[in-house]
Each structure stands twice: as C-alpha cells, then as structure tokens.
Chains A and B, each alone.
Chain A
Amino acid sequence: MAAMCSHVRSSSFRVKCCRRQVGMAQSSAFGRRCARAFVSGFFVAVPVTVTVLDRLAYIARVEGASMQPSLNPEGQTTSDVVLLSRWSVRDYQVQRGDIVSLLSPKNPQQKIIKRVIGLEGDLVKTRGYKNRYVKVPDGHFWIEGDHHGHSLDSNSFGPVSLGLVHGRASHIIWPPHRWQRITPSIPGGCALLLHRDRLPPSDQDD
C-alpha cells in the first residue's frame, strides 16, 4: 500500500511535471518570438537612428557663455537645445555668419559651437592672435564666438580645417519660448576685413 501510494504520488507528480513542461514550452515559444521581434527591431532601429543622427540631424545642448547673446542668453540658469543640420554640411559648404558645430582642434572628444566669420581666401582682423591680420588658407575657415573675450575660438588656435565641421545649427528647439530658426548674421564690429572676391589679384596669388 505504501508502495502503491508512493507510485500514485510519483505518477501524479509526473503528470504535474508534464503540465509544467507544456507551460514552459508555450512560454519559451512566446519568449523566442519576443526575442526575435526584439532583435529584428533592434537591427532596424539602431542603424536607422545612428544614420539619421550622422547624416540628417543631431540635437545638442549648448553649454557655456561663448555664444551669448545668440545662444544661452540667460546665462547659467537655462541652456538652449539646438537642432544641428548635418545634411547641409555634407559637402563642407558653410557660409559666413552661419553658426556651426565642429570638433574642437584642441580636444577631439569635445564639440564646440561657433559662428563662421571668414572662409578660405578672406582677410581677417584678429583679436589677440599672434598675427594682427590673417589670410585664411585653403580648406580652412575662421570661427569666433559672439561673446568676445569669453570664447575659445580661432583667435586662440587660428584658422580651422573645414574637415572638422560637424553640423550647422538651424533651429533653437528648447526652451519653447525661444523656438526659432537661426538665420545667418554677422555681428557688428566684425572681424572680417576683406571678402575674398574684393582682394586685389596680386594678394590672391601668394
């Protein structure tokens, strides 16, 4: 009897076991489906996101006071969030007055945001650079922050290579009351001395 009991008990245990296995099989199939959906979604979402951020547009928060008053006008209290258009600089086309973000030539891990003052061939009057006047070499451009004296820009490291351009700031998207398109403008008291088209031809040769 005791043996019978034990047998019955064991068989019922086996039945329970089987049921649990069926349940596990169902749940594992469900889990597999979930995992497959997750992996396929992952392989779509991550490359698409990375490509959009690399090729089309990038969103970044502006820190520091170097672009006051155009960006971060309220100082330390709030910081602006800008939309950087990467599509418009895909062919390294920038204009004078554009606000661009670029990889810092001093520190490759840092991105800086400055205003384009002069393009290649322009003659620029500097503030505190080693030469008083600089002719911007080929493939380079001259950048300055709007907040003179509080900005680490071309006046400290000279003209920068066009290959460092990361994106062009096209909109301010945060805070909401400052939502606006950024239009290219050259601030007063500007450093650009001579446009490259107005340079005498003898100057352009050297």
Chain B
Amino acid sequence: MLRRAVGKSLAFAGFTIQYGCIAHCTLEYIGELVVCSGPSMEPTIINHDLVFSERLSRHFYTIKKGDIVIVKSPFDPRMNICKRVIGLEGDKVCTSSPSDTFKTHTYVPKGHVWLEGDNLRNSTDSRAYGPVPYALIRGRVCLKVLQAEKTGATFYPLRSEGLPRGFKKQLILHVAT
C-alpha cells in the first residue's frame, strides 16, 4: 500500500519535472504568448493585444530592420518592452524627434540595435536611452493572436515591410560591417 503510494507520487513528480522541462524548452527556444500593454506601439499593437513572439530568429541572429521585438528593458531587467528595430549595428540613425528642425544622427555601435516605438510622440525608446545590446532581445513578434478591441480571434502576421510612413526616411545609410 505504502509502496504503491510512494511509487505513484514518484511517477507524478517525474512527469511534472518532464513536462515542466518541455514547457521551459518550448517557451525558451520556440516562442510564447505575450500581452502587450502601453501606448508606445500604437497603431500596430494596441493596449492589451495578445501577440505571439518567436525565439528562433533571436537564437539564429536573423533579426532584420523593421521587425517588432520584445526586449528586456535595459534599466529594469525584470520588465519587458516591445519596440520596432530601426537600425542594426553600423547603421546611421536619426536621434532627434520628428518635429526638431536640426536633425542629429549617430551610428549604432557593434552588437547593438536601435529601437523605436511606432507611436513616436509617446514612446520611451532608444532616442531617450541610446542603443540597446542585441543580447537583451527576447523574441520577435510575428503574429497578433487576439485584438483587444474586437471580439473573437484574428490571426494575422506582422511583417517587417509594414513600416509606417516616415520611418523609411530615418534609415539613411547602411554601413556594411
């Protein structure tokens, strides 16, 4: 009787560990569902949208300009932020706000990316804190699963070509490194 109870609890513990490990690997290396909050990525991602972020392109270093990424905040690693990649290492980017008359430019250093929100007026991004190390990127947002406003699921992929107007002007020069 006791032996059976011990065996059952051991088997249960084993299965828990196994499925916990499989869940960890899936979340860490394939992707996860994330709820976005905050206004900085409007109108692409609205407050409380549910998005799918995939990890593979971060592990294979295939993140391109224009991708929306989820990044650990450089000032609080427990918090995640969602922004669009504007420049990769070696790119020349515009650091001033769009209304400024005098534009200032800078080069993105090696191993870093330049991030900006789509809502340029209401976004704390690389214009405020500078380039962000690539290693802080957690995943690329590739699918909007559930829209907050509508009822029912809407699946549609977020492409990197869908840059809002005014963004392409900021990508002035690409310097091969």
Please give the residue numbers on chain A whose beta carbons come within 8 Å of chain B beta carbons, in ascending order.
43-44, 46-48, 50-51, 54-55, 91-92, 103-109, 137-140, 160-165
Contact = CB atoms under 8 A, between A and B. Distances in A.
A108 B134 contact: yes
A114 to B, nearest CB: 15
B75 A138 contact: yes
Nearest to B17: A48
B78 A164 contact: no
Contact of B133 (A46, A54, A105, A139): A105
A106 B110 contact: yes
Given A51-B24, A163-B72, A105 B18 contact: no
Nearest to A40: B18
8 contacts: A47-B22, A50-B25, A50-B28, A103-B135, A104-B111, A104-B135, A109-B61, A140-B75
Interface range, B side: 20 to 34
Nearest to B130: A158
A105 B112 contact: yes
Nearest to B78: A92
Contact of A139 (B73, B110, B135): B73
B20 interface: yes
> Interface residues of A: mostly helix, strand, loop or mixed?
mixed
Contacts of A91: 78
Interface of B: 17-18, 20-22, 24-25, 28-29, 61, 72-78, 109-112, 133-136
Contact of A162 (B22, B77, B135): B77
A48 B18 CA distance: 7
A204 to B, nearest CB: 16
Given A104-B111, A106-B110, A55 B24 contact: yes
A51 B38 CA distance: 32
A143 to B, nearest CB: 13
A112 to B, nearest CB: 11
A107 B110 contact: yes
B133 A92 contact: no
Contacts of A50: 21, 24-25, 28-29
Contacts of B20: 51
B21 A48 contact: yes
Contact of A163 (B17, B22, B112, B136): B136
Given A47-B21, A164-B133, A107 B111 contact: yes
A12 B136 CA distance: 72
A206 to B, nearest CB: 16
A165 B109 CA distance: 20
Nearest to A120: B75
A105 B73 CA distance: 14
A138 B74 CA distance: 9
Nearest to A164: B135
A153 B72 CA distance: 21
Max chain B Cβ within 10 angstroms of own Cβ: one of A44, A105, A138, A160: A105
A108 B133 contact: yes
Nearest to B58: A108
B82 to A, nearest CB: 15
A138 B76 contact: yes
A161 B25 contact: no
